[in-house]
Amino acid sequence: MTTRTIILNGGSSSGKSGIARCLQAVLPDPWLAFGIDDLIRAMPASMRTSDAGIEFAPDGGVLVGPEFRALEAAWVEGVAATARAGARVVVDEVFLGGAASQQRWRKALDGLPVLWVGVRCDGAVAAGRELARGDRVTGMAVSQADIVHEGVFYDLEVDTTRAEAMECARTIAARLG
Amino acid sequence: MTTRTIILNGGSSSGKSGIARCLQAVLPDPWLAFGIDDLIRAMPASMRTSDAGIEFAPDGGVLVGPEFRALEAAWVEGVAATARAGARVVVDEVFLGGAASQQRWRKALDGLPVLWVGVRCDGAVAAGRELARGDRVTGMAVSQADIVHEGVFYDLEVDTTRAEAMECARTIAARLG
Amino acid sequence: MTTRTIILNGGSSSGKSGIARCLQAVLPDPWLAFGIDDLIRAMPASMRTSDAGIEFAPDGGVLVGPEFRALEAAWVEGVAATARAGARVVVDEVFLGGAASQQRWRKALDGLPVLWVGVRCDGAVAAGRELARGDRVTGMAVSQADIVHEGVFYDLEVDTTRAEAMECARTIAARLG
Amino acid sequence: MTTRTIILNGGSSSGKSGIARCLQAVLPDPWLAFGIDDLIRAMPASMRTSDAGIEFAPDGGVLVGPEFRALEAAWVEGVAATARAGARVVVDEVFLGGAASQQRWRKALDGLPVLWVGVRCDGAVAAGRELARGDRVTGMAVSQADIVHEGVFYDLEVDTTRAEAMECARTIAARLG
C-alpha cells in the first residue's frame, strides 16, 4: 500500500509549510496540504484570545485550552477521513504536546501508511526567520524549536537550518519512493 | 438531535464567509468555519490553472476538472467526519453543479441533521462588492449568482442584497433554535 | 485645474477602501489608492504595540504615540508629493484627531485641488461588518464612527449604512466632474 | 549627514522584504519599509493585467507599460519626499531596467545620502523559494536574478543564497554606522 499521508512536525518558522508547497510541486500526483494554521483560522475569532481556546502570549508562548483541544480532535479526524477517502495529504503540524500529540494522530490515522517527518531548525535561525516573515508573535520560534520533537518518532528528519525547503522536499519525496 | 452542521450556499461575493464569521460570533458554542476557498488553497498551485484542476477564466467563469473533483470529494468526506466527531461546523460553499453538488454533501452528511441555507444576492450588487473587495476575478459574482441555486433545496434562505451579514446570521441562528 | 486628489475619511469598517477600489474601477484614468493601513504596515512591527507607536486596545481604542505621529507626518508629505508629481491619488484615512487631522493634510496638499469626502456609517452596522470581516480588533468600528468626523469639512458625504460601495463611488465620480 | 535612506535591489524571491523587516528590528530608530509591491497594490486592479500597466506572463516575465511607468515615477517622488521630510526609509525594489531604474531613484533622491544595497541570490535557489512561498508567478525569480543588477552601482552587496536575512540585515546595519 502506497504512502499517501505525510506528517511534517516542527516548531513555528521552521519552514514546514514551504516544504509542503515544494512537495506539492515535485510530487507527480496532486497532494492536498493542510496545517494547524488552517484549524486556527477556522475557529471563532474569540477563541484566539481566550483561556478555553488558544492564547498567544507576548513572549511567544502558546497556551491551549479544552475547547481548542476538542475542536482540534475533530479536525484531526477530518483530515484522516480525507486521507481515507483517497486523497494524498501532507499535514504541517506543531506537536506542542510532543509524543502525546503524535499519539493523537497515530490513532486517527490507524491502518494508513504514514511518513512521519521531523522538521528541525536551529532556534536562533528560526527566530531570525520569524522576524523576517513579520507576521508571527516574536518568541514562538525559539520556544517551540525543541519541545515539539520531544519523544516523537520519525521515519525521516530534515533540517532547514542550512538546507533549502526544496532540498528537504526532494529528500522526503525520494523516501516516499 | 441538535443541528450541528450548517451549509451556506451562494455565488461568489454573495457574503457567505461574512455570515459564517457572524454566526461564529453570535452562536453560544464554538463553531468551525470551513469553505471551498480553503480547499482551493490546499491544492497544489499548479492545479489552480490547469485543465484537470480549476481554472478561473478572465470572464469570471470557473472550470473544474476531474482531479479537482476527486480531491473535492475527499475534502467533503473530511468535513463530514469532523462534524461526526462532534464539532459544530459551518461550511461556505459554491454549488457550481447546483442540485448535483448538494447531492454530494447530502450523501457525505447522511444521518447528521443539517441546516441548508441559501445565500442570495442580486447579481449586479454582488458584482459591485466583487470590485470593492479587489481580490477576485471580475465576473465570477454575476456568472454564479443564479446557477448555484438551481434545483437546490433549502431550509432557509437569506438575501444579502439589502440585509447585513449580521442580520442574516441572526436569522439563521434563530432557526437553529 | 482638475481635481486629482480625493481624501476619504471615515471610521474603521465604514467601507472606505471598498469605495476607493470602486473609484479605481469607474474612473476613466488610473488612480493610485493609498491608505492609513499602508502606513501601519510600513512601520516596524515593534511600533504596532508600543506606547510611542500605535496601540490597538482590546476594546477597540487606538492610541497613537509621538513616533507614530512623526512617521505619519512624513508619509503625508510623501503622498502629497506623489500627487504633485502628477499622479491621481485617492487616500483612505481615519481622522482620529478630527479637524486637526484634516488640517495636517490641508497643509501638505496646499495649492492642490482636493475633494474631501466623508464616509459615514451607522456605528452598529459598521460593528457588524467588523465582525464579518474577521480581521479587525472588535470595537474599533463603534468607537471611531463619530469622532473621526468631528469638526471636519467635506465637499461631499456618502453613507454606506444603506448605499453600496459602488453607488458611493459613482456619486463621488459624478462630483469630480 | 546621517544616511536615512536604504535602497535594496534584487530579483523576485531574493529575500529583500525579509531583510527590510530584519533591518527594522535591529536598527535602533524606527524605519519605514516601502516596496514595489506596495505600488502594485495601490494601482487599479485593471492595470495589473493590461498592456499599458503591468503584466505577469505565465513564464514569469514582467512587462511594464507607459501608464505603469508614469505612476511609478510619481510614487518614487513620494518616497523621496517622505525621506526628505525626515523619516528613515528602506525601499525594497526590483530594478527591471537595471542602471536606468537606479538613475530614476538617484535623481529623485538627489542631495540625500543613500545606501545602495544589492541583494543577490542564486537563480536556482530563488526559484525554490518562489515555490515555497506559493504566492508568486513561477519563473519570476529565475528571470530576474541577474538582469536587475546589470550596470547598477552598490555601496554594499549581500547574498542570501547562504546567508540568512538577519545576517544580511546586521551587515547592512553595521555599514550604516
User: Residues of C with CB below 8 A from A130's CB?
Assistant: none
Nearest to D159 by CA among D132, D125, D127: D125
What HEC string does D15-78 produce?
CHHHHHHHHHHHCCCCEEEEEHHHHHHHCCHHHHHCCCCEEECCCCCEEECHHHHHHHHHHHHH
C28 touches chain D (CB under 8 A): no
User: What pLDDT, on a 0 to 100 scale, did the predictor assign at position D62?
Assistant: 81
Neighbouring chains of D at 3+ CB pairs within 8 Å?
Answer: A, B, C
Helices C123-133, B16-26: axis angle to 10 degrees equals: 100
Whole-number pLDDT of residue A49: 67
3-state secondary structure of C24: helix
Give the ranges where B7-98 is alpha helix by DSSP (H): 16-26, 36-42, 66-84
Nearest in space to D6 (alpha carbons), one of D103, D93, D96, D107: D93
- The pLDDT score that the predictor gives to residue B72 is 96
Place of cell 479536525: A75
> What is the helix (H) or strand (E) element at residue C72, kind and residue range?
helix C66-84
In whole angstroms, give the CA distance from residue D142 to residue D79. Answer: 28
Position B1 pLDDT exceeds 80: no
Cα dihedral: C21, C33, C153, B129 (round 10): 10
Q: Is C177 on the interface with D (CB under 8 A)?
A: no
Answer yes or no: do A30 and B53 touch at CB < 8 A.
Answer: yes
Distance from CA of D165 to the nearest CA of A (A): 7
Give the per-residue pLDDT at D49: 67
For the cut 90, the answer to whether the pLDDT of residue C175 exceeds it is yes
- Contact pairs from chain A to chain D, CB under 8 Å: 56
Which cell goes with C157?
458625504
User: Does C19 score more than 80 pLDDT?
Assistant: yes
Neighboring chain B residues of C166 at a CB cutoff of 8 Å: 128-129, 131-132
Is the pLDDT confidence value at D119 over 80?
yes
Q: Does A132 touch chain C (CB under 8 A)?
A: no
CA D2 to chain CA centroid, nearest Å: 21
C-alpha span between D52 and A4 (Å, rounded) = 46
Task: At C14, list the grid cell.
Answer: 465604514
C155 counts as catalytic: no
Q: Is the pLDDT of residue D105 over 70?
A: yes
A59 touches chain B (CB under 8 A): no
Q: Measured between beta carbons, which residues in chain B are less than 8 angstroms from residue A25?
A: 44-46
Cα distance between residue A17 and residue A45, in whole Å: 23
Residue B3 CB-density burial (10 A; 0-12 exposed, 13-18 middle, 19+ buried): middle
Amino acid D10: pLDDT: 98
Which chain C residues are Cβ-neighbours of D78 within 8 angstroms? 78-82, 85
Looking at chain B, which subunits does it touch, using at least 3 CB pairs closer than 8 Å as the criterion? A, C, D
Q: Please tell me which residue of chain D has the smallest CA distance to C43.
A: D32
Return the number of CB contacts < 8 Å for A and B.
Answer: 99
pLDDT, greater one: B141 or A58: B141
Contact A14, A145 (CB under 8 A): yes
Of C24, C74, C84, the CB nearest to D45: C24
> Residue A71: which of B32, B42, B47 has the nearest Cβ?
B32
Asked if C59 reaches chain A (Cβ–Cβ under 8 Å), the answer is no
Q: Please indicate whether, in this complex, the C-beta atoms of D81 and C78 are within 8 angstroms of each other.
A: yes
Residues in chain A with CB shorter than 8 Å from the CB of D15 are 132
Question: Does A71 contact B30 at a Cβ distance shorter than 8 Å?
Answer: yes
Q: Smallest Cβ distance to D134: which of B45, B58, B134?
A: B45
The verdict on B115 touching C (C-beta cutoff 8 Å) is no
Query: How far apart (Å, rounded) are the C-alpha atoms in residues C32 and C18?
Result: 14
Residue of C131, C164, C165 lying closest to B166 (CB–CB)? C131
Q: How far B32 CA lies from chain C's nearest CA (Å)?
A: 14
Residue C117 to residue C92: CA distance in whole angstroms: 10
**Residues of chain B found within 8 Å of residue D131, distances taken between Cβ atoms:** 45
Are A2 and A168 in contact, with CB atoms under 8 Å apart? no
Q: Which residues of chain B neighbour A78 with C-beta distances below 8 Å? A: 78-82, 85
Chain C residue numbers with beta carbons less than 8 Å from the beta carbon of D21 are 45
Whether C56 shows a pLDDT value over 90: the answer reads: no
Contact A85 B79 (CB under 8 A): no
User: Can you tell me the distance from the alpha carbon of D74 to that of B63, in angstroms, rounded to the nearest whole number?
Assistant: 40
CA D39 to each of CA D22, D34, D45, D68: distance values in angstroms, whole numbers, following the listed order:
21, 9, 12, 10
Q: Which residue in the set C38, C39, C86 is minimally distant from D74, CB to CB?
A: C86
Question: Cβ of A129 and D167 within 8 Å?
Answer: no
- Over residues B155-166, the pLDDT tens digits come to 999 999 999 999
Q: Give the gap in angstroms from C-alpha D85 to the nearest C-alpha of chain A.
A: 26
Q: Distances in Å between the alpha carbon of C1 and those of A164, C85, D70?
A: 55, 14, 19
pLDDT tens for each residue of B80-131: 999 999 999 999 999 999 999 999 999 999 999 999 999 999 999 999 999 9
Structure confidence at residue A134 (pLDDT): 87
Q: Is the CB of B138 inside 8 Å of chain D's CB atoms?
A: yes
User: Does the CB of C45 have a partner CB in chain A at under 8 Å?
Assistant: yes
d(CA C155, CA C138): 30
Work out the average pLDDT over C133-149.
91
Grid coordinates of C28: 476613466
- The model's pLDDT over D30-84, given as tens digits with 9 standing for 90+, comes to 999 999 999 999 999 988 766 677 777 777 888 888 899 999 999 999 999 999 9
Q: D74 touching C, CB under 8 A?
A: yes
In this structure, are residues D141 and D127 in contact, taking their beta carbons and an 8 Å threshold? yes
How does pLDDT run across B17-65, given as a tens digit for each residue?
999 999 999 999 999 999 999 999 999 998 876 667 777 777 788 878 8
Instruction: Tell whether C138 lies on the interface with A, counting CB pairs under 8 A.
Output: yes
Per-residue pLDDT of chain A (177 residues; tens, 9 = 90+): 699 999 999 999 999 999 999 999 999 999 999 999 999 999 999 887 666 777 777 778 887 888 999 999 999 999 999 999 999 999 999 999 999 999 999 999 999 999 999 999 999 999 999 999 988 888 999 999 999 999 999 999 999 999 999 999 999 999 997
A32 in contact with B, Cβ within 8 Å = yes
- Percent above pLDDT 70 for chain C: 98
Q: Judging by DSSP bridges, how do beta strands C62-64 and C54-56 pair with one another?
A: antiparallel
Lowest mean pLDDT among B122-136, C3-17, C54-68: C54-68
Q: Does D45 touch chain B (CB under 8 A)?
A: yes
Q: Residues of D with CB below 8 A from A132's CB? A: 15, 18-19, 21-22, 164-166
Contact residues on chain D for B49, CB-CB shorter than 8 A: 58
Closest Cα in chain A to B37 = A38
Closest residue to D131, CB basis, from A21, A128, A133: A21
Listed in order, strand segments (DSSP E) in C27-134 are 31-35, 54-56, 62-64, 88-93, 114-120
Contact of D166 with chain A, judged by CB distance below 8 Å, is answered with yes
Question: Do the Cβ atoms of D133 and A15 come within 8 Å?
Answer: no
CB neighbours of residue A71 within 10 Å:
27
Query: Is the CB of residue A42 less than 8 Å away from at least one CB of chain C?
Result: no
| HSE-up (13 A, CA, CB side) for residue D145 | 17
